[in-house]
Amino acid sequence: MAQQDNSSSRGQSLFSVFRSVSASMFGVQSSKKHEEDFAKGSVKAYIAVGLIVTVLFVLAVWGVVKLVVSVAQPA
């Protein structure tokens, strides 16, 4: 009797969703993973993680710009 793989019978983990969102932001997601996301993923999870990652990215860019501007200003 074959044992079922639990990860394939239920939805994706939060880490898997995060990896997929990160890969798609950089444009390096494979076709196989893209199809798996559509087959197993929850739209709400992808939207939530996508918004969180986008906000974190914008805050990181803003912080780097503030740091560079503060260092580059003459005293």
Residues 9-27: tens digit of each pLDDT: 467 888 889 988 988 888 8
Handedness of CA 37, 38, 41, 46 (dihedral sign): positive
The residue-averaged pLDDT of 27-42 equals 85
| Residues 18 and 49 sit within 8 Å (Cβ to Cβ) | yes
Residue 41, pLDDT above cutoff 90: no
What is the Cα–Cα distance from 53 to 51, expressed in whole angstroms? 6
In a domain, 58, yes or no: yes
Global pTM value: 0.71
In a domain, 64, yes or no: yes
- How many structural domains compose the chain? 1
In a domain, 61, yes or no: yes
Per-residue pLDDT band at 7 (split at 50, 70, 90): very low
In a domain, 40, yes or no: yes
Chain centre to alpha carbon of residue 38:
15
The residue-averaged pLDDT of 23-52 equals 87
Range of the domain at 15: 11-72
What is the Cα–Cα distance from 39 to 75, expressed in whole angstroms? 57
